[in-house]
Structure 1
């Protein structure tokens, strides 16, 4: 009861001071605008009108001595100021400068061998996608294109010669046959032809022998040796008979039987002679020989035209390789005729060609940096590293112009900066680049790092620290109580409390240097 009485006396004295000062001292609370804008809990700020500062100071001194007198006993009650724990939002924004650079550079190499006609750019020039960087001599490109087409034609002709029309017809007779089978068939044909020739020879010989015998018989009948051409002087009025004389002195001995015998022999001779020229069997054998000789000729040609498998594959591969190479060359020549064009909006960083120079294929020509793909490199300290992550939004300022961005890459290894401090290279991608960006300049970046909403946030000045960790003093049933707290997101002024406090707790915000846990206090909030 005595403590309460003392507390009432303090309050009365405080009221007396306010009444005494009247309008001379005006005390009021003001919420700091910057903290409201940042979404932080408003902190009370006490202001005194300048003209009454002296009077206010005197009043506080009087109050101090009164409190000291009232609480001078053993069980003194200390006056404290408190604030109620409430939830708000907190966001950690890191300000780190970095260097603007392109995320993509491209070096153009000559795709053709030709002289350079015109170079349209120089280092530092900004170009748009599709702009012609440089051109080649048109006549040289036309000549190169014709040479490429001739190379394809030549390779095709070399390959096609292996499969000429004549060779194809001959190879048909050997279709499906191996070289050994062709040779075996040729040997068989030769044997068949020889056998048929032997038959013809044998039969012809027999017929010739018959003819010889008949001719001898005719001579025997005509012993007088009268030739057939002279026989008519001995014809006895009958043209179909040849007679001979048995009596050399006269013609009285020519008989009818002799005439008939001579006629029969002559007919037989004629039959044999006809058979030698027209015998059906001999003619059939000759036709077989002709057919076999035709097959033999084709097989021999097919054998000569047979293509080695390896040779055929090599020739085909050579043709296809030449075709691919030269068609690619023709395609590149046709593109080169339109000039070498920029593939993106960018800035020229290097020009390695001059007009009139003849370029070999593969020669370095121009290098460009892409202005459509811009990034900023920053170096993050180890203390800030836990606060950033890929995907975080970034407010960027380049040459006074605002851009949007996001963290796109965090290196997995630290390096040393110029001061020997370990830092981690981090990339910020500019999501809305334009042609106003200048590569190589410095960019100011505000990274929206950690953020929490509807959470307990305290000003750092209310949080105490000792060897056991972070804590705050709260008023619990009129006495000081220590609450150990776990901090989450922290900024330069505020900290998130993730454990140890509840909404509605009363945090002691006044000087705690004279306080200890369990001490009786009185809340005096002005």
Structure 2
């Protein structure tokens, strides 16, 4: 060895020695004398370190490839059923708003919001005392018209009898009064002419009264038709207002839409008030015309009849005086004219119509308002002791037999539900059969701003345990495959490259890509990539790697949860 080399090694030994004697002054002096190693010494040292690291890595890698025992599941055949769960709200398919048929106080109100009722149940009873008074008055008006007409007939018969008697008396006294009668004929004929003209004028007055009454009837019919049209429009407006309120109360509308709906409600409510006011005015006009037809014709007839009877009596007296001189003269006709008979018929018909109308209202009021079908009261617009207005809304009944579930399906799940799909509906602790009746063709934002698609599920076997407006949970079979390869869901891995599993073949772990089919709660269909009997590693948490040598133990087969 060269001397220089020897000095270097001696210096190195001194450094090592000084490290073993840490803290001594001599060590400090030696370190101060340490020199930097040349490159031809450093490079071989670094190379040795790298070789040692590679060898250590080989040993470590070889040890990692031994994985011990892993659990595996076998790929088997069976049925896979994909289930879709969704929640909705129970709603009724049948609703009816009940309106008052009469103007009368409400004596009993048995309709309460949320109350279940049966078809035929009495829900509203009316106080009929005012209607009974109106009916009694109509009956009395009819009897008065009949009595007046009967009196007119009797008076005409009496006049005829009196005329006949007067003629007979005149005939008997004709001989004695002949001379005097001749003197009076000129005067009597003048009086007869005047009375005849007066009678003709009165007859024309009767005809004019009849004509006037007949012209009033079309106006009365027109007002009644206008009133019925107003009631029909009021009913439509109430329906639209209720529909807008339901839409607002559902909470699924934007502020702009809500403002629009509230504006429409205000406008329609104003129109309802206008229509109701118009009907009140029409009622007053109808009552006035009816009174005029019923009483004006009778009074006019009675007055004209009395005047005619008086004229007939005077005429008969004159004719009687003439017949004294002319015994062959015939007895004058004192029977009612056809116009008078027609007027009597009109008067009685109007009175009969008034009786029929009051009796019909009485019958409706006595019957009260009964439920048309089984259901639940959803809204009440009147109160016990208040006065119901004809055509006014009383309450709303919704069926609890014709019911469905309204769904809001996330737009991403639109392909999960089809019309005709069957579902199991759970409401509270009870289960029912359901079928999808309809699905909207557009997704709209819900209250949270998420796009959803509306759908209706008809409940096939409803009972009394169903509550309207509550939440319902639905389970639907979306897809089903029979006798297909499947694995438990948790044994399939997913990466950016797709789905894969680890299988054990000849004691070595291998990675295999798989194509998946439908998925149930616990199973997933394997469409390709595996065959029946393949052993798939159950571990999906990254402790198993491809190429690892392992032994296996089989776990139980997957069963549907």
TM-score category of the 2 structures, normalised to the smaller one = 0.3 to 0.5
Bigger Rg, structure 1 or 2: 1
Normalised by the length of structure 2, the TM-score is: 0.42
Normalised by the length of structure 1, the TM-score is: 0.44
